């Protein structure tokens, strides 16, 4: 059994099943038919054996036909049940993966400090484990309960005392499972925690392999990993022991039910006392015992299914909270398309704070005219990257407005723009830009409109990448084989191939050598659209028309920040 809070967690995973209700119903129908067929075989066999032994009558040929038919039907139904339930589970898991990806994609952008990639990897792994939940619980528990109700009702009709014995035994079984549930759950959670701690340590060590080798940390990593493994194993052993105890108790209760039915059945059949008034034929006693066993086995199956959910609770919680992460930016109900032509940027009285932290921007205003190339400077932590993220609509301001402006000065709030149109118009390149698996061509064209190779090659030459890499070259995992400068060049090329109208660049040149910095600055200077560059580097800022100081939460009135004309902050 699972506890109430765990039940809530699993309930949170049910909405994803809604579009699959037909599949669920089908899975339940097949599972119930399969369970009823097996019960039919067992009870019929017991009935025939009872008559053969007591009345010395051989089974009719029709009986053989029915039994063989039921056995064959059971084989087909078991196979169908597996097929239907697994297919359903895989469809649901695919939907869950997309929901999780979507939730992370909508909630992560500004939270770079959260290790969202790792959290998402763990949650994706958890989803695989939930296959059991979707394939083997809901429909199967429904089938078990149907079978239990059917056998309890039939037993009660045949002999009410037998019904009471079956009901009491089932009650003891279910409540004992509930009693052990708390301990089992606690152990399951501890084990999950230890295991995820173990995998975090391993992932950490592999991610920082250079540091591990350079600082001679290997023995420590091995010792810590060994200790974490031992802890997880000890908990797993205790959990197994508890599971064995629960199994023994189940067997004990089942035996008690069988004995109870034999006693009440024998009494009703007049086996125990020599009475003429019998309510049950002795030949039917084996069938009644089989019926009771079927009912108790159905409850055992249902409780065993619940018990197997324990180790999944922690994972289910992570997935459930993952898919319910609040989005960072709200989707507009009535998205607007952008007007054609050049677009500038305008920040009007923008206030912004990261969750419960002090505000980064307070009533901050600035305008970048269409086609202007403007820089952002300011001390570390003053909010330059935040301004860029707001312009790219990775976050929404808490108040104020961020707009794209036409040459006639009309503004469209980025929050109202259709997301696809916004991503086509505005391109972002930042220090942490990641390249995807695949070839250079795949990366340059990813998500954008198709472009001929000639155009891609020109862009590669423009960013100074054509000498060392070709369009068909594979970049490996996240471009790790490339240096920072090479990656920056390709990321810039990728942004420009999309032919954006506004280019946002965040600290791309910070750690580059002067030659690469010059190439990147040249390419940015030649960009025909609007540019907003955040940088600490004097050489990069010197190539821009204006430079605006971002001074943290310092208030500024609309229009007070420079938009065109001479700039006193020019570096
Ligand atoms: N995801 C985040 N969650 C919480 N606080 C954040 C987050 N990102 C930035 N901050 C905080 O917001 C403030 C502004 O950060 P931001 O990165 O915009 O500054 P910056 O001027 O770009 O800094 P740098 O020049 O060092 O890149 C800092 O105090 C920073 O710690």
- Cα of 381 from ligand 1 centre, angstroms: 5
* Residue 254 shares a structural domain with residue 380: no
Q: Atom 6 (ligand 1): residue with closest C-alpha? A: 354
Q: Is the pLDDT of residue 129 over 50?
A: yes
* 296-314 average pLDDT score: 84
Residue 569 lies in a domain: no
* CATH code of the domain in which 310 resides: 1.20.1560.10
- Cα of 323 from ligand 1 centre, angstroms: 26
pLDDT of residue 24: 87
* Residue 313 shares a structural domain with residue 436: no
- Hey, which residues does 411 pair with through a beta bridge? 405
- Cα of 115 from ligand 1 centre, angstroms: 15
* Residue 252 shares a structural domain with residue 304: yes
Ligand 1, atom nearest to 388 Cα:
18
More confident residue, 185 or 286: 286
Ligand 1 near 408 CB (within 6 A): no
In whole angstroms, give the CA distance from residue 89 to residue 317: 18
Percent of the chain residues topping a pLDDT of 90:
42
In whole angstroms, give the CA distance from residue 164 to residue 401: 71
pLDDT tens for each residue of 336-371: 999 999 999 999 999 998 877 889 999 999 999 999
pLDDT of residue 560: 38
Domain extent at residue 120 = 4-323
Ligand 1 pocket test, candidate residues 382, 505, 506, 532, most atoms within 8 A of CB:
382
In whole angstroms, give the CA distance from residue 535 to residue 272: 96
pLDDT of residue 310: 72
Q: Is the pLDDT of residue 63 over 80?
A: yes
What is the ipTM for the molecules in this complex?
A: 0.97
* Residue 316 shares a structural domain with residue 368: no
* CATH code of the domain in which 495 resides: 3.40.50.300
> Among 192-201, 210-219, 243-252, 362-371, which stretch is predicted with the lowest mean pLDDT?
192-201
Ligand 1 near 360 CB (within 6 A): yes
Q: Is-contact 543 556, C-beta < 8 A?
A: no
In whole angstroms, give the CA distance from residue 415 to residue 403: 8
DSSP, residue by residue, 457-487: HHHHHHTT-TTT--TT-B--GGGTTS-HHHH
* Residue 356 shares a structural domain with residue 244: no
* Residue 33 shares a structural domain with residue 91: yes
Q: Is the pLDDT of residue 113 over 60?
A: no
* Residue 232 shares a structural domain with residue 300: yes
* Residue 279 shares a structural domain with residue 134: yes
pLDDT band at 565 (very low <50, low <70, confident <90, very high): very low
Q: What is the pTM of this model?
A: 0.62
Burial letters 520-557, b for 16+ CB under 10 A, else e: bbebbeebebbbbbbbebeebbebbbbbbbbebbeebe
Q: Is the pLDDT of residue 562 over 60?
A: no
> Among 462-466, 488-492, 555-559, which stretch is predicted with the lowest mean pLDDT?
555-559
- Cα of 430 from ligand 1 centre, angstroms: 14
Q: Closest by alpha carbon to 151, among 261, 264, 280, 307?
A: 261
* 170-194 average pLDDT score: 83
Q: Is the pLDDT of residue 567 over 60?
A: no
* Residue 247 shares a structural domain with residue 374: no
Tokens (6 digits) for 291: 């019926």
More confident residue, 83 or 115: 83
DSSP H helices in 382-451:
384-391, 419-425, 440-445
Q: Is-contact 58 52, C-beta < 8 A?
A: yes
Q: How many structural domains compose the chain?
A: 2
- Cα of 275 from ligand 1 centre, angstroms: 91
Ligand 1, atom nearest to 386 Cα:
18
Out of 84-88, 434-438, 475-479, the most confident range is: 84-88
- Cα of 383 from ligand 1 centre, angstroms: 6
* 34-62 average pLDDT score: 92
């Amino acid at each position: 059994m699972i506890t109430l809070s765990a039940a809530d967690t699993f309930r949170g995973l049910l909405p994803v099943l809604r579009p699959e209700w037909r599949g669920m119903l089908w899975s339940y129908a097949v599972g119930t038919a399969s369970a009823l067929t097996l019960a039919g075989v067992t009870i019929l066999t017991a009935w025939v054996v009872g008559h053969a032994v007591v009345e010395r009558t051989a089974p009719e040929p029709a009986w053989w036909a029915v039994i063989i038919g039921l056995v064959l039907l059971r084989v087909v139904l078991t196979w169908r049940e597996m097929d239907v339930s697994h297919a359903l589970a895989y469809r649901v898991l695919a939907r869950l993966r997309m929901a999780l990806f979507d939730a992370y994609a909508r909630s992560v952008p500004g939270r770079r400090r959260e290790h969202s990639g790792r959290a998402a990897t763990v949650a994706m792994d958890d989803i695989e484990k939930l296959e059991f939940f979707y394939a083997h619980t809901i429909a199967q528990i429904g089938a078990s309960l149907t079978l239990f109700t059917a056998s309890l009702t039939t037993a009660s009709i045949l002999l009410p005392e037998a019904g009471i014995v079956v009901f009491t035994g089932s009650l003891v079984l279910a409540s004992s499972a509930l009693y052990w549930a708390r301990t089992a759950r606690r152990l399951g959670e501890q084990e999950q925690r230890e295991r995820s701690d173990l995998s975090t340590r391993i992932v950490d060590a592999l991610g920082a392999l250079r540091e591990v080798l350079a600082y001679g940390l290997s023995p420590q990593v091995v010792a810590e990993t060994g200790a974490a493994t031992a802890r997880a194993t000890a908990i797993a052993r205790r959990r197994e022991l508890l599971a064995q105890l629960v199994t023994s108790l189940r067997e004990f209760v089942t035996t008690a039910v069988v004995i109870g039915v034999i006693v009440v059945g024998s009494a009703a059949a007049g086996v125990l006392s020599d009475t003429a008034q019998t309510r049950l034929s002795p030949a039917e006693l084996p069938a009644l015992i089989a019926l009771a066993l079927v009912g108790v086995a159905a409850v055992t199956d249902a409780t065993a299914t619940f018990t197997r959910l324990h180790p999944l609770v922690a994972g289910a919680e992570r997935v459930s909270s993952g898919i319910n992460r609040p989005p960072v930016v709200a989707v507009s109900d009535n998205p607007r398309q952008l007007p054609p032509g050049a677009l500038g940027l305008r920040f009007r009285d923008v206030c912004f704070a990261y969750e419960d932290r002090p505000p980064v921007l307070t009533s901050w205003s600035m305008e970048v005219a269409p086609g202007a190339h403007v820089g952002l400077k300011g001390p570390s932590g003053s909010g330059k990257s935040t301004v860029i993220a707001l312009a790219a609509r990775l976050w929404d301001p808490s108040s104020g407005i961020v707009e794209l402006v036409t040459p006639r000065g009309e503004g469209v709030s980025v929050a109202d723009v259709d997301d696809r149109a916004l991503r086509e118009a505005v391109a972002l390149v930042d220090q942490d830009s990641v390249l995807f698996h695949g070839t250079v061509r795949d990366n340059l064209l990813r998500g954008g409109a198709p472009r001929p190779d000639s155009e891609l090659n020109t862009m590669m030459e423009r960013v100074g990448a054509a000498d060392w890499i070709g369009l068909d070259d594979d970049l490996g995992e996240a471009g790790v084989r490339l240096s920072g400068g090479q990656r920056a060049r390709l990321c810039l090329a990728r942004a420009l191939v999309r032919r954006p109208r506004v280019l946002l660049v965040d600290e791309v040149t910070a750690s580059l050598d002067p030659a690469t910095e010059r190439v990147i600055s040249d390419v940015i200077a030649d960009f025909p659209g609007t540019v907003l560059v955040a940088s600490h580097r004097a050489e990069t800022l010197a190539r821009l028309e204006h430079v605006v100081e971002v001074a943290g939460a310092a208030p500024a009135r609309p229009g007070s920040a420079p938009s065109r004309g001479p700039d006193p902050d020019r570096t």
